[in-house]
Structure 1
Amino acid sequence: MFIETETTPNPASLKFLPGQAVMSAGTRDFTSPEAAEASPLAQAIFDTGEVTGVFFGSDFVSVTAAPGVNWTDLKPQVLSILLDHFVSEAPLFTPGSAAGIAVPPDDTELMFEENPEHSDIIAQINELLETRVRPAVAGDGGDIQYRGFKDGVVYLTMQGACSGCPSSSATLKHGIEGLLKHYVPEVVEVRAA
């Protein structure tokens, strides 16, 4: 088995491509060792003691190194863990965990109750996020979650390699905001949630 690696716009994160499906549906973001307990693979990566984030996409795993950690030392450790996992065909999640959920349940809730009169606007926003934004963000080793729409402002959360990326605010403000404002005139701003 050969696992490819790709750099991401976030210098602290690398994207690992095992050449097979990782998640059959959705994504999963682990931002702490406690959250990683739901997955033996994520937990093993966190157990290196040099990682602050693990993200499972459809066909990739993004790993974010802790500040000051050198990828030259960490990359072989992560590759070894990934190889062991995929060659042994071990389960991605522990039995009874929230497998396949895009994010832990408390993070999928909207920031506030949305106005039912905005359902068409929200549907347009989500359609654009799904078809135009999510594939591009996945290409960079991350994902984006819709968190709400209120008073013309769209609230989004960046995940995986895109979370904490130096260019994530530019992506939100210049890329995603421009796209949404162009196709959905009711959108006046995009903010990180």
Structure 2
Amino acid sequence: MPKVINIEPTPNPDALKFLVHPAILKAGSRSFKDFGAAVGDPLGSSLFGLGKVTSVFYMDRFVTVNKEASAEWSDLIDPICEAIEDLKLPEDATGDVAAQPGGDADATLERINQLLDSRIRPGLAGDGGGLEVISFDGQTLQISYHGACGSCPSSTSGTLRYIEGLLQEEISPSLRVVSW
């Protein structure tokens, strides 16, 4: 069973990052924007079951929980910690792996993911968030933010523009990035 070892604020006042040990996923991440999406996931379902939770994102050694703006963290922190610590870890905990397109787009997408992994995702994870590539058609990269980043105003403006600028400089000046 995981243990919550620390709780960190994120730039989003309605999201907290719960650091856990040991890792709850060996690879990948899980992200749920509502209770219906979390059905079948023990941790996601349990956290949404607390009420006042608007999204759940977790990977490796942290869980980010977003709450309703009107909810108080003082009412939610203990139940969230209990839900995390009650989680029974499966022997082969792994995240979902998205299908990748083929051809030239596949090679470009691999380079994009390498840049995202080395220069973008660590910073987002540091703030309790994440980024998933939804699609790539060779010119437009569609991404989805998760965790604290999912409802943070800067993710749809400044962060998105930074990612696009980085990819235009490193991959192709004509590349566009859109948030889903």
Per-residue deviation, 1:35 = 2.6
What does 1:1-193 align with in structure 2 at a 5 Å threshold?
3-83=5-85, 85=86, 90-91=88-89, 100-102=94-96, 108=98, 116-150=103-137, 152-169=139-156, 170-173=158-161, 175-193=162-180
Secondary structure of the residue that 2:130 maps to in structure 1? strand
Per-residue deviation, 1:156 = 1.0
Counterpart Cα distance in 2 of 1:14 and 1:183: 33
Number of residue pairs matched? 176
Counterpart Cα distance in 2 of 1:64 and 1:183: 33
**Pair 36,115 (structure 1): closer, same or farther in 2 beyond 3 Å:** closer
Indicate conservation of the 8 Å contact 2:52/2:67, yes or no: yes
The root-mean-square deviation of aligned C-alpha atoms, in Å, is 2.4
Structure 1, unpaired ranges of 5+: 94-98
Please identify, of 9-18 and 35-44, the stretch whose mean Cα deviation from structure 2 is larger. 35-44
Q: Could you tell me the TM-score, scaled by structure 2's length? A: 0.84
Secondary structure of the residue that 2:134 maps to in structure 1? strand
After TM superposition, the runs of 4+ consecutive aligned structure 1 residues lying more than 4 A away are: none
**Pair 191,47 (structure 1): closer, same or farther in 2 beyond 3 Å:** same
Counterpart Cα distance in 1 of 2:152 and 2:55: 12
Higher strand share: 2
Indicate conservation of the 8 Å contact 1:152/1:186, yes or no: no
**Pair 186,115 (structure 1): closer, same or farther in 2 beyond 3 Å:** farther
